[in-house]
């Protein structure tokens, strides 16, 4: 394929989608922050930090120089949402205005309440595409069957991104709801934490799945209030990702919830693990307040994680109010 494609972020997801797309392009540029990891990838063919047992395809070339991305038609940002603004500022110095930027991050900026797409359009007009779905990176890396959704403001951009991403195993479905797709990714993380807290406390399954049902309903309400389409909640990026991450021990957000539910507090910053949901709680709570939405699930997660209220006390309040 003639398109030049780059990925920024050689972490779990960036490496996995680079591997997938390298099937479709002549050369895939993978931007890495650290020189030693960049050298490892180029010299050994392994991302020794994230996937020491999976050989990368030979046409993946790592670089630490952002100027190398100048020639890219499409750039995927596979970095945490907290790193978006700084990265976009740097990219603005080197990229052409028409470069398509794809966001994979499931986070939101606080206190601006801007989505990653909103941030991209601050620097690069409307040329962005959002990607989200039930997509554990470890499975994508193993070339296991996966579907994702993408959405954008320009149909031709979605089409180009679909072309570079699609393989026999990795399917891409275009939807027409840029607001909804991004919110689904953010809200499923809050639900994953909520269900993790309940699991950590050993709350019974009848209650846990009722809470998940309520979380799905709240997701729809929040999406609609933010100008999204409720149908998006029924997509892979909605229902699929919500259920997957709320119930799977592979999810970092779900695991974080379990730890809080067990009252085991870890040093999250020192762990270096990306817990997007934790960083989104205040933003989602503000979105609810601004739109007069009273989400018991959002309040529950806020009470336990931010206010540090005892999980059982927070759960009793949730259960009293849930209908």
Ligand X SMILES: O=C(CO)COP(=O)(O)O
Ligand Y SMILES: NC(=O)C1=CN([C@@H]2O[C@H](COP(=O)(O)OP(=O)(O)OC[C@H]3O[C@@H](n4cnc5c(N)ncnc54)[C@H](O)[C@@H]3O)[C@@H](O)[C@H]2O)C=CC1
Binding-site residue positions for sn-glycerol 3-phosphate: 106, 133, 188, 241, 251-253
* Residue positions forming the annotated binding site for NAD(+): 9-14, 137, 252
Size of site (CB under 6 A) for ligand Y: 23
182: closest CA among 213, 141, 140, 227? Answer: 227
Identify what 180 binds: ligand X, ligand Y, none; CB under 5 to 8 Å per kind.
none
- Given 114, 179, 188, 278, which residue is catalytic? 188
Q: Which of the choices ligand Y, ligand X, none does residue 251 contact, using the CB cut-off of 5 to 8 A by kind?
A: ligand X
Sign of CA dihedral 180, 186, 189, 190: negative
Among residues 249, 239, 126, 228, the alpha carbon closest in space to that of 181 is found at 228
What character string, x for contact with ligand Y (CB under 6 A) and - otherwise, covers 66-105?
A: ------------xxxx-x--xx----------------xx
Rounded to a whole number of angstroms, the minimum distance from the CB of residue 315 to ligand Y is 26
Closer to ligand X by Cβ: residue 132 or 157: 132
46 and 85 in contact (C-beta within 8 Å)? no
Residue 33 binding: pick among ligand X, ligand Y, none (C-beta 5-8 Å cut-off by kind): ligand Y
Nearer to ligand Y (CB atom), residue 115 or residue 224: 115
Two tokens, residue 208: 């846990």
Residue 188 annotated to the active site: yes
Give the C-alpha separation, 306 to 250, whole Å: 23
Q: At what angle do helices 178-200 and 205-225 cross, to 10 degrees?
A: 160
Residues at the binding site are 9-14, 33-34, 50, 106, 133, 137, 188, 241, 251-253, 274, 276
To the nearest 5 percent, what fractions of the chain are helix, strand and coil?
55, 15, 30
**# of chain residues touching ligand X (CB under 6 A):** 11
**Residue 105: closest CA among 39, 180, 186:** 186
Query: Any contact of residue 192 with ligand X (CB under 6 A)?
Result: yes
42 token code pair: 């180029």
Enumerate the known binding-site residues for NADPH: 33-34, 50, 106, 137, 252, 274, 276
- The values of phi and psi at residue 111, to 5°, are -95, 10
Q: Interaction with ligand Y in 6-25: which residues (CB under 6 A)?
A: 9-14
Q: How many CB atoms lie within 10 A of CB 107?
A: 25
Part of the chain binding ligand X (CB under 6 A), chosen from 32-40, 71-79, 132-140, 200-208? 132-140
Which pairing describes strands 128-132 and 146-152: parallel, antiparallel, or unpaired? antiparallel
Contact stretch for ligand X (CB under 6 A) within 54-62, 119-127, 161-169, 249-257: 249-257
Stretch 43-62 residues interacting with ligand Y (CB under 6 A): none
**Position 279 contacts ligand X (CB under 6 A):** no
Length of the chain: 323
Residue 192 partner contact from ligand X, ligand Y, none using kind-dependent CB cut-offs of 5 to 8 Å: ligand X
- Quick one: which of 115, 251, 279, 280 contacts ligand X (CB under 6 A)? 251
Structure tokens at 222: 């929040």
Cis ω before 111 (30° cut-off from 0): yes
Angle at 96 between CA 91 and CA 100, to 5 degrees: 80
Residue with smaller CB distance to ligand X, 25 or 215: 215
Query: Containing H/E element for 268?
Result: helix 268-271
Catalytic residue numbers, as ranges: 188
Residues that bind ligand Y (CB under 6 A): 9-14, 33, 78-81, 83, 86-87, 104-107, 135-137, 274, 276
Residues that bind ligand X (CB under 6 A): 106, 134-136, 192, 241, 245, 251-253, 276
């Amino acid at each position: 394929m003639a398109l030049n494609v780059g990925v920024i972020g050689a972490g779990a997801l960036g490496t996995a989608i680079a591997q997938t797309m390298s099937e479709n392009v002549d050369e895939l540029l993978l931007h890495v922050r650290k020189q030693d990891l960049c050298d490892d990838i180029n010299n050994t063919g392994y991302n020794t930090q994230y996937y020491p047992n999976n050989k990368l395809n030979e046409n993946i070339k790592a670089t630490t120089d952002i100027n190398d991305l100048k020639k890219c038609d499409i750039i995927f940002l596979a970095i945490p949402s907290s790193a978006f603004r700084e990265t976009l500022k740097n990219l603005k110095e080197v990229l052409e205005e028409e470069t398509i930027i794809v966001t994979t991050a499931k986070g939101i900026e606080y206190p601006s309440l801007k989505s990653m797409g909103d941030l991209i359009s601050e620097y690069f007009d409307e040329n962005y595409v959002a990607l989200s779905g039930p997509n554990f990176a470890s499975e994508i890396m193993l070339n296991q069957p996966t579907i994702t959704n993408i959405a954008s403001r320009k149909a031709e951009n979605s089409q180009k991104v679909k072309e570079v991403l699609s393989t026999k195993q990795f399917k891409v479905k275009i939807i027409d709801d840029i607001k909804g797709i991004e919110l689904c990714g953010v809200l499923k993380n809050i639900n994953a934490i909520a269900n993790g807290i309940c699991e950590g406390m050993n709350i019974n399954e009848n209650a846990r799945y009722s809470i998940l049902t309520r979380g799905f309903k709240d997701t729809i309400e929040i999406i609609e209030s933010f100008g999204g389409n409720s149908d998006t909640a029924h997509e892979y990026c909605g229902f699929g990702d919500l259920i997957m991450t709320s119930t799977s021990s592979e999810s970092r957000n779900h695991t974080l919830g379990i730890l809080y539910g067990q009252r085991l507090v870890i040093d999250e910053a020192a762990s270096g693990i990306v817990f997007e949901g934790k960083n989104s709680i205040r933003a989602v709570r503000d979105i609810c307040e601004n739109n007069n939405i009273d989400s018991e699930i959002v309040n529950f997660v806020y009470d336990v994680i931010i206010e540090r209220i005892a999980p059982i006390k927070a759960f009793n309040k949730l259960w009293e109010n849930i209908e």
